[in-house]
Chains A and B, each alone.
Chain A
Amino acid sequence: MTELILQALYSGLLQGGSYALIALGLALVFGTMKVINLAHGELVLLAAYIAYAVESGLGWGPVLAIPVALVVVCIAAVSVYLIVSRIKKDREINSLILTYGIGVILTNVILLVWHADVRSTSSTWLQEAFVVGPLFSMRSELIFFVVSIVLMAALWWWLSKSWYGRAVRAVSSNRDAAKLMGVDPGRTELVSFIVAGVLASFAGVALFSYGVIQPAYGGALTVKAFIITVLAGVGSIPGVLLGAVLLGVAEALTVTLASSALQELAGMTLFLLVLLVMPNGLFGAARRRG
């Protein structure tokens, strides 16, 4: 039983890392613009398909697809921003409908270009087992877990130390006050979308490297990212990591100790319990107290 639980904790931790990478971009845009980008999952999926295209077309490994994914996904993210920024009234509600529509369009573009077949990396090196004592994982899972941590640290550093990072936080905190302080909210929001695109690119390539992709998968990714964002507390980067790892571990333990059929239910129960006790999310409440 100990071996089972240890493996569940390890698998949950790695799964949490990948969830966090997917959720970060959504959390950033949500924090800055108060826009829930329902097309975020499709941006992640677009990066995954670019990794597939690079691997199947050029024979390169998925990691080498990252520069291509960065360019394409960031252009797509900027396009989403340009559309969303044109909303003049009721931005929260209208952006929900608009980004949902963009997500549907992106899904169908992916379907048209790459068809409905199930895709995944053919790199045997990335899929091979990495064994530490009684713990097993795919090499790709471990690599992208580390990448996820590094990106989160970089994002945290950027938000706290750089001028644009501080501008993002200022706009997130009070858009009008930030404007009075010389921050251009439009440009700051654009930067947020570009950073979200960068994060989505890494998340997509990671997803392709250890998972399975299909055109209809984007919606499920957005829902998972949204749950983590709310669980974390809006605007909290450490909260995203903690929320994602909690979700991953809760799911893996449910599979091990109960049934895998209950995995999604366990995730949602955790989500509701946290919100019941801490309505602002894990780190939202802590920040307020602080």
Chain B
Amino acid sequence: MKTTFKRLALAALVSAACIGAANAEEIKVGAELPLTGSLARVGAGMQEGIMVAQEVFNKTNGKHTIKVITIDDESAPAKAIAAVEKLASDGVVAITGGYGSNNISPASDAANKLGLVYITSGGVDDSLVAAGRKNFFRINNSAGYEKALVGLLQDVNAKSVSIVYSTKDATSGLAKDVEKALAAKGVKVAMHSFDPAITDFKPIINKVKLQDKSEVIAMVGYENDYVGILRAARVLKPSVKAMVGVWSLATPKMAADFPDLMPHVFGTALLPFPAEFKTADGKAFADAYKTLYKKEPDYLGQFGYVQSMLLFEAIARAADKGTLKKGGVADELRKTDKETLIGRVQFGANGDNPNFVHRMGQHQDKKIVIVWPKESATGKIAYPATPW
């Protein structure tokens, strides 16, 4: 009986040692995301990209295995901080994710205090990189959206623009940057801020129609805002030449969900739809995405994938050098200079990617056509043209 007990104990010890050895190769990475609450849709989109990055990295890297631990921050800043702290206690070496500058700011602060790298594509507010967080990195920014929006409006030679924008930090920051850039080029700009809670945009569009009489309406908000603004414009029919927006607008999903509202609407778009991936990385991403989610990849997944792959590669390099827990991940990310699915990514001293420039797409015949910049265009611009 004693011998049997000893054998069992020995077997248990050996098994535990083996499990420990196997786990030693596995590196934990945290994903703090809004999977419920007002940002659930974008949070879920980003998570898809993160999980695709885990899948592709683990298949192709060979030496290291990444395990992503996800915590829902419920679209709330306080929950985002709690998620980061919980992930740190779970032993993650870095955090990928975050959506909404209002949530990312406190969450990345918490990560910074804990010495954890925080990488995102979900917050474009400039204050995020101005706060001096050593471990904060992002692959996109307001400037890249501004360049695309202003570039398109210049190309179509718009003389007057009404900017309708949400009062949230990121949207109002971008709207004001665009206003400055357009005013500097001699374009007449009228600004209309709106509270994120409003649902009836007719009084605003009526002001554009009767007072501003602008050539273009530029929308800086989110999906629900765009639908409200486009609906109000469809009812009041202001004599504008184009409806232009930024994120979450020129997407296959919006084309499919709101077919009557989207024709001719412009928005930032990384890829045309149907998507075309020409690089090996792009094909690996698209294949893994379709296998995991049985649908065409979207831009949120693309951003989540790029930020996570850059992080995983930096982690692998730091692990090889033995600096994983000595600030090595941040050092390796600072050395990054890579052509990715969203263009060239480098990180400046403040953690921002100075190379980020978006593209502009237009809804045409249930497809997304890239119309700006000219070198990336996949079709001709339709202008003047509105959905009604």
Contacts and interface: CB of A to CB of B under 8 A. Distances in A.
Contact of A118 (B41, B198, B234): B41
A4 B207 contact: yes
A15 interface: yes
Interface residues on A, range: 35 or more
Given A7-B203, A136-B236, A214 B198 contact: no
A261 B198 CA distance: 9
Interface in B198-217: 198-200, 202-204, 206-207, 210-211
Contacts of B228: 211-212
Contacts of B237: 129
B204 A260 contact: yes
Contact of B199 (A115, A212, A261): A212
A28 to B, nearest CB: 24
B227 A111 contact: no
Contacts of B41: 115-118, 214
B36 A264 contact: no
A252 B194 CA distance: 12
Interface string A261-274: 11110000000000
A124 interface: yes
B235 A214 contact: no
Contacts of A122: 257-260
A264 B195 contact: yes
A108 interface: yes
A211 B200 CA distance: 8
Interface string A191-235: 000000000000000000011101110001000000000000000
Size category of the B interface is 35 or more
Interface of B is mostly: helix
Contact of A264 (B38, B43, B198, B210): B198
A84 to B, nearest CB: 24
B192 A260 contact: yes
B227 A212 contact: yes
Contacts of A280: none
Contacts of B202: 7, 11, 136-137
Given A216-B36, A260-B203, A129 B192 contact: no
Nearest to B41: A116
22 contacts: A4-B203, A4-B207, A4-B210, A8-B203, A116-B40, A117-B41, A118-B257, A119-B257, A122-B260, A128-B235, A129-B235, A129-B236, A138-B231, A211-B228, A212-B199, A214-B224, A216-B75, A260-B198, A260-B204, A261-B194, A261-B195, A262-B195
